[in-house]
Structure formats: structure tokens, C-alpha cells
Structure 1
């Protein structure tokens, strides 16, 4: 009969053996510890269903994971269930844009002269022409003003015109968001500072001093196309109205405190850019008339050109910071390569849907935009994993995805976690998504997608409740905890 010894019992046997000269025969019990069966650690891994129950997450959950070396789907739960992909959409937008525009594409913003420049005088109009650059900022406009002076222009006799027609005008990315959230700006072919204006307030006597400016790393010119008035009230915190092409905001005094700031969306990005450029040109002694918006690009000679970084670098930052405006402008630009008349986000989202179905195998996908802010988009976990496991995704998307740091049990970042994850996150109210690649300690690489959403709680939210709805943060934390436990399960179970 095999017996199990405690440490004390083992030492007793050993002492007794040393009291006699020798054993006449080999011992009947091995003094070496038993070898543990291979894969015993994997037998202790909780089942996926147990992890889901433990998460206590309301709503629906869909996930899938596949080995990228074999293409084999290793595990799936409701993999064919279509859920809001949120900002995971930006991963597909990245692949779409890289194919349609190319990784080295650059967006150009130009200053065009419609007449000759004689003795420092432009005898014609000056046109600020947008080229769809989502990264244009005040610093870049200041540099263009400096170059205009260096090109010999001291005076402009004609009009100062602004053209933003390289992309369609879209009033908001998502109509269901509150008016004041900076991540839901307007879109046009000319953007500045991600189409946001900086609102700052400070206590001044019994009231507040307020400013609206187009600040950047070097400059903070005041603007006239966005105005703020403090109102003696508690709620609503903000109201918005467009009058005469100007954004008129009010803010509740009860929400201000002693001081602070935030970015507000701009609804007329063409006038905003023109307003700021006129101020910057004046700093170089060039007086421009108040900007006028033109629907048609005037013919003329380009005197100054500002080029963006290459598209691949812009996309890397878009994925890192999840910039909605960048995704929408780049997605629209990609669509317009083959359909110059595409006039809405919905139409462009439909074009990307067709492309994803044909090129990535996403047979059930439906996109209504390129950022994921619109919650009518639907993607299944199975389709997302299929897209991630394509050669083009592994070669072009994976290298520019953000590294995701997993966490300790107390929620603090664990920079030494044995699993390495690069992925795109996605968050809406009561919706959370994560999709990308996880590398196990043995080097095995898995493509995965995890989508969670409580559609009932989302649909119950009013427009004004969507910035910080009650219960959403707790729900999101539960979803992110489930995401990590699933990744740890897969990394251990499907690694060597």
C-alpha cells in the first residue's frame, strides 16, 4: 500500500534507517517526491463559464480566441452575437485607410493665391484650403502664417476665403451625445485642434472671468466664433445654440467652482480655422479681411503648403489615444478615393462594411461610422477574430496597436505580467470591448475579441445622461476584470 508521509514522518523514518548498518533490500517506499502529472496546472484553470458567472456582468457577452499560427478557433462564447464594437471599430478603419490611401499618404493644407504678388501685395484672394488633415493644430497654422510672410506677402487686397470641401460637413459624429462633449465634434475637410475650443474660467470678484481660445503647445489665440456666458443656475451645466455661424454657449455658475477648464466641440470648423489663422497672420503684420466660406475651391497658385505626418504614424496615435475625429476624417478620406461623392458618415460606414466583408471575412459586420461612437454598429467576436487573423492585420495593424498593461488583483498595473497584450479598447456607456493579440510565455500568439454590452441599460439613457450615467463605471470595471481573467485563462491554457 502506498503511503503519504508528512515532513516530520519522513525525518523519523530517515533517522530510524540510519540506526542500523544497512537495509537488506531496497525500501518499499520511494524517498523521492512523486512527479506531478504533465499539464496539472491547466486542470486548475477555471472554465470560461465560471469566469463569466463570477464577473456578475449584466447584459450580453461574446468572445472568441484563435491561434494565429494555425488559424484554429480555440474557444468561443456567443461568437456570432453582434454587439457594439465601440472604439475597436478604429482597428478596421486603420486597415481600410492603409489600403485605400497607403501608409505613406500625407494630408496637405494649403494657402492659395488667386492673383499675382507684386511688391509684397497679393492682388487677389488668399484661400486657406483644407486637405482633410485631422492633426492640424494652432502651431501648424502659425507656421503657415510665418511662411506666408517669408514668401513675400505683406498685404492681401482681395478676400480671405476658407475652403473645407475635400470632405463633407457633418454636424456631429453621433446625434445622441450631449452637446458639450469634446469627443463628438463636427467634421469637415478643414480641422483645427481636433475641432475643439478651449474654455477656461477663473473666479473674479463675485463672478468669473472666462476665455475661449485655440491653445496649442506654443500659442493660445482668442477666438470669436465661440462665445461663453455664465448663467446663475445649477442645471443644466451647459446649453448650446448656433447663431449667425457662431457657437453660443452658456454655463451654470453653480458648476464652476473657483476655476478650471475643458475642451468644447466646435460646430463650424471652417470658420474656426479661418478665425485663428487671421489672428496669427496679423501677428506677422498681414491684415486679412474677415473670412468668408467658399463651397468651390478657387483656382490659383499654392504659396504655402503644410504636410501632415505620414498616415501610418497618424493611425498609431489615433489607436493610442482613440481620437474619434481622426478616425472619421481618415475613414471618409479613404471612402472618397473611390466614391468622391460620399456625403455622410453612414454612407462611408457602409462602404467600409462592404470592404471588410470582402477583404477581412467579416460577413456579419455593420458599421455606421469609423470611430465606433455611433452605437448602431454591430460586430461579432468571430468576425473580429477572423479579421485580426488575416495576414494584412498581423503585418500592418498589430505593430501599431497599443500595448495593454494587465493588472494585479488590487487593480494596480502589473508591468511584469507574463502575458503581453497589444489591442484596441472600446468603451461606451454600458458597453466595453477589447480586441487584439496576446502572446503567452512560450511565444504562442492568440488573436482574440471580447465584446460586452447591456443594451437595455444603454437604451434607457437620455441624451443628457450619457456623459457619466449612474452605474456605468462600475459596470465597465466588471467588464475589464472579465477581459483580464479570460486573457489569463487563454494564455495559460493555450500556451505550451
Structure 2
């Protein structure tokens, strides 16, 4: 049968109603599920050899489940189709005044374009490009143009009460370094451990009250309590680290968000500009350039989407995924980007590819939500479509490889499955999910596999055990 007909048969079968009963789990998988006390009705599984007309295993395939970060697969495929693997985000610098003898007599405007990977190194390149344009001094302020996204204010602690965790950082059109600071703790052998902030933002006060305590490494956050000290005077907040750090611990880093995005951009710009030998002591404000058609002084382009996807899926980066969704919405329906434009854009693109999106609940597109829903059949259909897509290599290579990298670096790292699975994982409280491709032990066509577990405590171990039972079973087919 020609390859195109095989693909059509696969996709059409994935659109049919449920094929297997609730008792269709193979023995090795059923024993694990039952032994863990997990209700079989809380587990959905789909395993199918690519090109086959029927699945090898379909258990509860049409029950909507929370897929956690497995939903990133939908956003990723839609972005590849809608934007292309060579798509790049632009961040622009505009001079809002004349430049004479190396002095910008006025403000510098930074126009955010939603770059999901404007990390410190990339921002350093941006400031360096300005320096190479001959600018050495800026007499005015930073003007931050954030019009590309039109989003309501978002409480970063609304999801789980942890507003300082980097995974809860909301999207922003001028997000730099994920708005995160890494606090690196280094035991010195005696006295207080050394603490250094990266990047060392000049206006961020850091207080170290850690003490070294004899003992093995362990404890919540290795005994480190992290506090953000709000300054009622209106200046930047400070950070306090206190507690007893076990002497048995090696160097460790605590990554947190501390500042509003605009303050972070202002602080990091000042730091990097001074490293380039530039002079700037202005403040910041929101605004826009007087004439939208004015040529930028500097344009910085992100790495291509195909490269960005590897960071999104291998390491399950939430805010980067949300930027993909927002950008797709802006490109499809014009700027400014909104959450609704992004949601509609992702679903429309997937429908155009041939996916049944009926009942799919996207929410933020990253899976960091209690409301997201999709069925195992729909995830399997997405994987089948991605396998036949022109950008299949970019899609598959973005997934974590069993035992080698990303979220799978420490899973399947010693058995024969190592290196033979490309998967996207997902985990929330009471949710454990995985989906991707398995190259079977005996060779032949790869299989696609989907496991969605929504059960109390699934994230604490049982979900992973069920996933691995299914994946090992698939590997032996």
C-alpha cells in the first residue's frame, strides 16, 4: 500500500469510535495498574504502529483527560505549520533622538516582539550591536514598547500559590531571560555558604543569612528559605536567603522570579550596557515610537523556531510555549496578540491539518492548567499527522530522548529502551502523561504511544510506573 494511503488509513481509524473495551489492557500493564490501586477508568492508552490500520492497544481512548504538558505537542505542531521552522522573532532598538559623536541625545526605545528566548546572552548581543553602531552614551530613559501582546494582568501564583517559580512566569512581549534570577549557593567548607545572583542585577539587594550545618544533603530546598523583601519606599525589592545548608550538599542553584518584567529589563540593560563600556543612568517608562515606520537602529533576531522547539519540548518550558501560541495568533489574525486569538489559531491550524479537535480545551496552550482536556485518540491522531508532516524531523527532534536528555534524562537510562523513544512528558497534581514515538526492540516501523493518567496521587509515582509499563510493552512489539 502506498505511503499516502497508509497515512490516510491511520488517520481515518483514529477518527472512529472507541475500539477496545475498558478491560483491554495487556497483562503486564494491567498488573501494574491494578497493583498500584489505580482505577482503570482513570487511565487512557493508545499504542499504534505507524502505517497500521488499527491500534495495538486502545483503552479508554475517547475519555477527555488533562494531558498536562503533553498539550505542548498541539501548540508545537500548529506553530510549525503556521509559522514555519525558520520563523524568527524580532526585538528592535529605536533612537528617539539624534545621535551625535556617540551620544544618543534622548531616549532609547526597545520594541518587544514576543521573543521566547531572549536570554541574557542574546540580550548581551543586542546591547553589543547598539555599541557597534557607535553609540556610547544614552542621555534619556529606556522606553519599553510592549504593544505586541494585549494581555490582562495575570496573577503568577493563581495556579499553585507559588508566584516566584519560573514555570509560573506569565508571557510578556519583552520577556528577557524568562524574568528569572538564579541564586547560586556554594559551600565554602566553613562559615556561611557563598551566594551569588546570576545575572547580578545592580539594583537587587541580596542578603545571605545561610549557615552551614553538618549532615547529609537533603530537606526541602536543602534547608534554604527564600524571601522577597518588598521595599515600601518604591525602590526595587530585596532578596533574603536564610536557613541551614547541609555540609553534604554540593553547589546548588535556586531559580526564582523577583522583579516586574520592566524593572528586570531596565536593570539588565544597564548591567550589560556598562559591560560594553556604555554610559546610561536613566530610568524606564512604557511608550511607543512616534512613527511606526521609522527604521530601527538595531534589529535582533531570535534563533529559528525549529531550534526554539527543542527547548520548549525537551525541557517543557511553559512561558515559551505560551509565546508560540500568542505569536501564531498575532500572525494569523494580526497584532496585538491575545490569548483568544492564539487559542483559535492553534485549533484552526490543527483542523486544517486534519485533526479532530472537537472537545479539546486549550486554555494557555502549555498544559499548566486544571482545565485542559484532550483524549488519547486525539493525541495519537496529532502524532500521526506530525509524522507525515513536512517538518516531521523538527517536531520529533524537539522531543526528549529516553535516557539521554530533557525530562527523560534519568528515565530508561540503563535498559535497552535508552535512546529509542522520543517522548513529551507531562505532570501536574493527580496527572501524569506521556506521548511520542517508540522504535521497537525488534526493528520495523516505529509506534506512537499515548498514556494519560488522571488519578489521585498519579504525579507522585504511580503515573510514571504505568507509563513505563505501557512504553516497555510497546517497545517489545
Q: TM-score range by the shorter chain?
A: 0.7 to 0.9
- Within-5 A mapping of 1:90-489: 90-168=72-150, 171=154, 175-177=158-160, 178-200=162-184, 211-214=196-199, 221-224=200-203, 226-228=204-206, 237-240=225-228, 244=234, 246-251=236-241, 253-254=242-243, 260-299=252-291, 300-340=294-334, 345=339, 348-349=342-343, 351-357=345-351, 359=353, 360-390=355-385, 391-392=388-389, 394=392, 397-405=395-403, 413-414=413-414, 416-417=416-417, 420-440=420-440, 441-454=442-455, 456=456, 472=459, 475-476=460-461, 478-489=462-473
Gaps spanning 5+ residues in structure 2: where? 1-25, 211-219, 405-409
Q: Using the alignment, how far apart are the partners of 1:81 and 1:69 within structure 2? A: 24
Q: Using the alignment, how far apart are the partners of 1:231 and 1:143 within structure 2? A: 35
Aligned length: 421
Q: Which moved more, 1:346-355 or 1:426-435?
A: 346-355
Gaps spanning 5+ residues in structure 1: where? 1-44, 215-220, 459-471
Q: Aligned pair in 2 of structure 1 residues 71, 261: CA closer, same or farther (>3 Å)?
A: same
Q: Using the alignment, how far apart are the partners of 2:177 and 2:106 within structure 1? A: 29
1:381 to partner: Cα distance = 0.5
Q: Using the alignment, how far apart are the partners of 1:413 and 1:399 within structure 2? A: 18
Q: TM-score, normalised by structure 1?
A: 0.74
1:183 to partner: Cα distance = 1.7
CA-to-aligned-CA distance 1:225-258 (integer Å, 9 cap, x gap): x5555689x999445576648455555x336567
Q: Aligned pair in 2 of structure 1 residues 223, 199: CA closer, same or farther (>3 Å)?
A: farther
Q: Aligned pair in 2 of structure 1 residues 368, 119: CA closer, same or farther (>3 Å)?
A: same
Q: Using the alignment, how far apart are the partners of 2:281 and 2:99 within structure 1? A: 17
Q: Aligned pair in 2 of structure 1 residues 387, 112: CA closer, same or farther (>3 Å)?
A: same
Q: Aligned pair in 2 of structure 1 residues 297, 74: CA closer, same or farther (>3 Å)?
A: farther
Q: Using the alignment, how far apart are the partners of 2:54 and 2:97 within structure 1? A: 64
1:62–1:79: 8 Å Cα contact kept in structure 2? Answer: yes
1:286 to partner: Cα distance = 2.2
1:200 to partner: Cα distance = 4.1
Q: Using the alignment, how far apart are the partners of 1:419 and 1:246 within structure 2? A: 47
1:186–1:267: 8 Å Cα contact kept in structure 2? Answer: no
* SS class of match (1:162): strand
- Within-5 A mapping of 1:77-88: 77-88=59-70
Q: Using the alignment, how far apart are the partners of 2:31 and 2:182 within structure 1? A: 47
1:209 to partner: Cα distance = 6.8
Q: Which moved more, 1:353-362 or 1:85-94?
A: 353-362
1:127 to partner: Cα distance = 1.6
Q: TM-score, normalised by structure 2?
A: 0.77
State the match for 2:34 in structure 1. 53
Q: Using the alignment, how far apart are the partners of 1:100 and 1:247 within structure 2? A: 41
Q: Using the alignment, how far apart are the partners of 1:298 and 1:313 within structure 2? A: 34
1:422 to partner: Cα distance = 1.2
1:166 to partner: Cα distance = 2.0
* SS class of match (2:296): strand
What RMSD, in angstroms, separates the aligned Cα atoms of the two structures? 3.4
State the match for 2:6 in structure 1. none
Q: Using the alignment, how far apart are the partners of 1:186 and 1:231 within structure 2? A: 30
